[in-house]
């Protein structure tokens, strides 16, 4: 085992510890909220609900997500150059199970990974294939494969479960507090300690902030993993520039006066500028693997792949594509 492999293993181990601590902190907030509302029974309820939803998340099929995006698998004769790129990257990623490649009929420049185990999927949009070159597409695909390799879909699903439960319990506790105010004022109820009130008010927000921080951490790690898979950090950096420019264009079209910057702690993804800086700092480093050889034919959607409608907000699913 060479020095680079040892460093990568240490990096992965540190990454897992960091994610584990964050997820445990979210569970602790959930248990604490349950304890304030119902005492020991609240902790038992929190554990029971968590175990049930963790089991549900781990068994969830990616078909529901793919259906919401109207995604469909590429056929054996569809875009052979894209499938060639994907196969080479899957081999370099050293995944236990090869994911299936899906197509999303949307002009948005985007890609995502979903599923777990043998049911993993990587989906790419029409807009991404239409506007990116092979090198940039390779970087984006490698980023999604890195998410799969590090089990990010399951980790973020778990974090979402804890965050939603903590928010729900916090709201229940706040409603119970408001309903009991009359009895407390008249001296018939038991006063709630200020610490308990603070916990009910703050734990949902703290849990959400930890979830957002975890998401940003996973994105940084997926960028690093993509660079290790492709050996070409600059390719992903170029793709991120295009995606950022396109997304800003759509936002300006919908909200022309939008100029207020989003606070860093409220972002699900790190700032694109920061991600690009990190990637470019890796470019040309001696510990980078040899860049993957990509096929020559440029990947473009076939003529029968036509998307005319503009991206829009889908109210029922809450998705934008």
Copy the structure tokens of residue 228.
């290790």
Closest CA to 203 of 159, 155, 165: 165
What lies within 8 Å, CB to CB, of 211 at 6+ separation is 26, 159, 160, 162, 163
Closest CA to 276 of 237, 232, 243: 237
**Backbone phi, then psi, for 112, in 5-degree steps?**
-155, 160
Q: Is 244 a catalytic residue?
A: no
Closest CA to 167 of 202, 214, 126: 202
Active-site residue identified among 91, 130, 136, 144: 144
Copy the structure tokens of residue 216.
């940003």
**Backbone phi, then psi, for 113, in 5-degree steps?**
-115, 145
Cα separation values, 225 from 88, 288, 301, Å: 15, 11, 27
Bridge partners for 114 per DSSP: 121
User: Hey, which residues are catalytic here?
Assistant: 144
């Amino acid at each position: 085992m060479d020095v680079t492999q040892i460093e990568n293993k240490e990096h992965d181990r540190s990454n897992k510890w960091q994610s584990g601590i964050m997820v445990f902190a979210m569970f602790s907030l959930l248990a604490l909220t349950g304890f304030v509302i119902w005492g020991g029974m609240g902790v038992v309820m929190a554990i029971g609900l968590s175990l049930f939803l963790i089991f549900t998340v781990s068994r969830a099929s990616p078909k529901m997500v793919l259906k919401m995006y109207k995604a469909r698998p590429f056929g054996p004769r569809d875009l052979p150059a894209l499938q060639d790129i994907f196969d080479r990257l899957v081999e370099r990623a050293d995944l236990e199970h090869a994911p299936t490649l899906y197509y999303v009929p949307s002009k948005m420049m985007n890609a995502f990974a979903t599923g777990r185990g043998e049911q993993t999927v990587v989906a790419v949009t029409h807009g991404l294939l239409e506007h990116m070159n092979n090198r940039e597409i390779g970087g984006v695909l490698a980023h999604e494969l890195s998410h799969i390799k590090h089990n990010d879909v399951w980790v973020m699903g778990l974090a979402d479960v804890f965050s939603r439960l903590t928010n729900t319990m916090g709201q229940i506790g706040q409603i119970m507090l408001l309903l009991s105010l009359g009895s407390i004022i008249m001296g018939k109820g038991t006063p709630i300690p200020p610490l308990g009130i603070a916990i009910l008010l703050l734990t949902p927000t703290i849990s959400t902030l930890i979830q957002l921080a975890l998401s940003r951490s996973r994105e940084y790690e997926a960028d690093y993993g993509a660079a290790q898979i492709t050996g070409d950090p600059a390719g992903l950096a170029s793709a991120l520039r295009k995606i950022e420019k396109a997304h800003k264009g759509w936002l300006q079209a919908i909200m022309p006066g939008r100029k207020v910057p989003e606070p860093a702690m409220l972002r699900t993804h790190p700032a694109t500028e920061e991600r690009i800086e990190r990637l470019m700092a890796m470019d040309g480093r001696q510990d980078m693997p040899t860049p993957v050889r990509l096929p020559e034919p440029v990947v473009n959607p076939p003529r029968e792949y036509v998307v005319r409608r503009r991206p829009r907000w889908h109210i029922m699913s809450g998705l934008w594509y």
